[in-house]
Chain A
Amino acid sequence: MRLRVISPWAYLNWLVFPVLFAAVGLYVLSTPGAASSHVVYGVLGGGLIGYWSVAYLDGGNGIQDERWNGTLEQIFATPTPLWVILLGKICGGLLFGLLAFLPTAAFAYFGFHAVLPALDAGRFVISLGVLTLSFFCIALTLTPLFALWRWAFSMLNGFELGVYVLSGFMFPVAVLAPWAQGVAGALSPTWAVRALYASTLADGPHDFGAWWFAAIGLSIAYLTGAYFLYALVERRARMSGQLAMV
């Protein structure tokens, strides 16, 4: 956490980029006559992108930083399993990532007078909790890949952007092509984000139970995969000796 607080790059992810996304979203979506449901995507979208970026990127970047520092081997050889170390890092990232909602909400309110029209606070908090769980599970599952394969790091940004689009952070998933909607359905954030947006809107059929269940179920499935992945990473890393920088 201390490394994150003193890193100027972290502020880009939770403060600058979310506001930029929110500004673009609100500008596009808050045109006169636009439906309030659209404006909601502008209000929350920037925060969601910031939250996801910090939660996900900090895990991958964190591993890459450890490799560059030469500390990846050092932490790997301690009596604490890698998943526990990463769990701590990811939890720190999630806490930090939640901050992304503050500048975007403030920007939306003061800059565009945009509000959440029909906020159901209880469901909103539960949906945000489910979203946090799904981010946590994805980050915990994917991060060890960066420890094992240096080339995986080059795919970091691609996956980050893919989830923005596929999970409907700034527009409904319904606008995507059918095949893309199928892929989106396999991503736990899609369901949590859907519930989150629904908790701010009065109109439309809402099935919170099913959405939460889908997000939690997929998250558990990721964790099951992560259990085997960590065992693989531990063994492969020790076979190849690729934790060192060179």
Chain B
Amino acid sequence: MATKPAIEARQLRKTYTTTRGVFRRERVERAALRGVDLKIAPGELFGLLGPNGAGKTTMVKIFTTLLLPTSGSALVLGLDAVKEQWALRKRIGFVFGGERGLYWRLSGLDNLRYFADLYRIPPAVSRRRIPELLERLDLLGRERDRVELYSRGMKQRLHLARGLLNDPDVLFLDEPTIGLDPVGARELRVIVRELADAGKTVFLTTHYMFEADAICDRIAVIRDGAIVAEGTPSSIKTLVQDQGIVEFEVVGMPVERLAGLRGLPGVTSVAISEHELAQVVTVHCARPAEVMTQLGVILDGIRLEKVSSREPTLEDAYVQLIGDSR
């Protein structure tokens, strides 16, 4: 990376300390980040993937100056997120997922005006920028309605408008599409991609693989507070390139039968998910054809609905990387 990174973490660590017990209070420490190193180039749309509790939000909060790291450094646009928070806050925007974080009893317009004041945006600029954002995020015409009357998608777009009020160079999005319907999520992804195409650096956390695959230039997978893989979505997929996926649907299969599958040569992981009437079993393996021929023996007496073999996806790579950390 020849240019100066827009976002950089060096040996970033965060340990939360809390207490438990009523009479005999006991200090409990939990490591959320364990020495993370990361560099993100200007204009890049970077995705951070990981299961709940892996450290994604902690990292975003450190970069957005909301949280102090226990050790290590976090730099955004060359500014230290620990010591230069006032200068940094003017140049970044952030959006946290979910419906909260807005004044529901105020209108969308009043929300934006208030935050424009807090971001110290000159009135002449905010008078021009707020209508632009409302139009771009398809909120024009509803801006005087109370936020409590907005749909979840509208609230999330209002969040994004708030995050863009100060025209930030770097935008942090923490699971921005969580809870949105497919159409709303797709619209938001298009907007986020457009922002990156317009030159903004975007740091996106998500656990939707297809989302990261579809819009991110580069991704990293975080597990238990440590980065376990980093690269383009296609390079991450190559981690499981030598593998195939066999998926089959069964009805009423006892869990003990999975042991037989796991024991087959070349099988690296077996996952089972319950659907309404059936169970879908996903087998990661080196030789899919061999596994498929053995299925008849292992599933003897069990109704087999569908069997298919396919190329690994980013989700498969993710599942392999995350393993049994959940």
B166 to chain A, nearest CB (A): 8
A residues 72-118 in Cβ contact with B at 8 Å? 73-81, 85
Stretch at the interface among B58-66, B134-142, B314-322: B58-66
A176: CB under 8 A from chain B?
no
Query: A80 to B16, Cβ gap below 8 A?
Result: no
Given A78-B89, A79-B89, also A73-B66 (CB < 8 A): yes
Stretch at the interface among A165-173, A196-204, A237-245: A237-245
A3: CB under 8 A from chain B?
yes
Query: B66 to A77, Cβ gap below 8 A?
Result: yes
B residues 56-102 in Cβ contact with A at 8 Å? 58, 61, 64-68, 86, 89-90, 94, 96, 98, 100-102
Set A7, A77, A80, A239: member contacting B94, Cβ < 8 A: A77
A145 to chain B, nearest CB (A): 19
B230: CB under 8 A from chain A?
no
Band of interface residues on B: 20 to 34
Residues in B neighbouring A70, C-beta threshold 8 A: 96, 98, 100-102
B308 to chain A, nearest CB (A): 41
Residues in B neighbouring A69, C-beta threshold 8 A: 100-104
Set B90, B101, B120: member contacting A71, Cβ < 8 A: B101
Query: A243 to B118, Cβ gap below 8 A?
Result: no
Query: B100 to A79, Cβ gap below 8 A?
Result: no
Query: B64 to A77, Cβ gap below 8 A?
Result: yes
- Give the one of A6, A74, A241 with max B CB within 10 A: A74
B150 to chain A, nearest CB (A): 14
Given A3-B103, A3-B106, A69-B104, also A78-B119 (CB < 8 A): yes
Query: B66 to A85, Cβ gap below 8 A?
Result: no
Residues in A neighbouring B100, C-beta threshold 8 A: 69-71, 245
Residues in A neighbouring B67, C-beta threshold 8 A: 238-239, 241
Set A71, A79, A235, A239: member contacting B86, Cβ < 8 A: A79
CA of A36 to CA of B150, assembled, Å: 57
Given A69-B102, A77-B94, also A2-B119 (CB < 8 A): no
CA of A80 to CA of B86, assembled, Å: 8
Chain B at the A interface: SS class: loop
Query: A243 to B120, Cβ gap below 8 A?
Result: no
B110: CB under 8 A from chain A?
yes
CA of A71 to CA of B162, assembled, Å: 12
Set A235, A238, A245: member contacting B66, Cβ < 8 A: A238
Residues in B neighbouring A78, C-beta threshold 8 A: 89, 115, 118-119
Residues in A neighbouring B303, C-beta threshold 8 A: none
* Interface residue tally for chain A (C-beta within 8 Å): 24
Chain A residue at minimum C-beta to C-beta distance from B163? A74
B105: CB under 8 A from chain A?
yes
Chain A residue at minimum C-beta to C-beta distance from B66? A77
Query: A74 to B105, Cβ gap below 8 A?
Result: no
Query: A6 to B120, Cβ gap below 8 A?
Result: no
CA of A75 to CA of B96, assembled, Å: 13
Set B61, B90, B104: member contacting A241, Cβ < 8 A: B61
B4 to chain A, nearest CB (A): 22
Residues in A neighbouring B94, C-beta threshold 8 A: 77
Given A2-B110, A241-B16, also A77-B65 (CB < 8 A): yes
Residues in B neighbouring A7, C-beta threshold 8 A: 105
Set A71, A81, A85, A238: member contacting B103, Cβ < 8 A: A71
CA of A241 to CA of B104, assembled, Å: 24
Chain B residue at minimum C-beta to C-beta distance from A76? B66
A150 to chain B, nearest CB (A): 13
A residues 1-19 in Cβ contact with B at 8 Å? 2-3, 6-7
B119 to chain A, nearest CB (A): 6
Residues in A neighbouring B106, C-beta threshold 8 A: 2-3
Set A2, A71, A240, A245: member contacting B102, Cβ < 8 A: A71
Residues in A neighbouring B16, C-beta threshold 8 A: 240-241
Query: A75 to B66, Cβ gap below 8 A?
Result: no
Given A3-B103, A71-B102, also A79-B118 (CB < 8 A): yes
CA of A3 to CA of B148, assembled, Å: 14
B residues 14-30 in Cβ contact with A at 8 Å? 16
Set A71, A238, A243: member contacting B68, Cβ < 8 A: A238
A85 to chain B, nearest CB (A): 7
Chain A residue at minimum C-beta to C-beta distance from B95? A74
B144 to chain A, nearest CB (A): 13
CA of A38 to CA of B193, assembled, Å: 71
Set A6, A79, A235, A245: member contacting B119, Cβ < 8 A: A79
Given A241-B16, A241-B67, also A79-B120 (CB < 8 A): yes
Residues in A neighbouring B90, C-beta threshold 8 A: 79
A147 to chain B, nearest CB (A): 13
Question: What are 29 residue pairs bridging A and B, where the CB atoms are less than 8 Å apart in the complex?
Answer: A2-B106, A3-B105, A3-B106, A69-B101, A69-B102, A69-B104, A70-B101, A70-B102, A71-B100, A71-B103, A73-B66, A73-B96, A74-B101, A74-B115, A74-B162, A77-B64, A77-B89, A78-B89, A78-B115, A78-B119, A79-B86, A79-B89, A79-B119, A79-B120, A80-B117, A85-B118, A238-B66, A238-B67, A241-B58
Residues on A lying within 8 angstroms of B by beta carbon are: 2-3, 6-7, 69-71, 73-81, 85, 235, 238-241, 243, 245
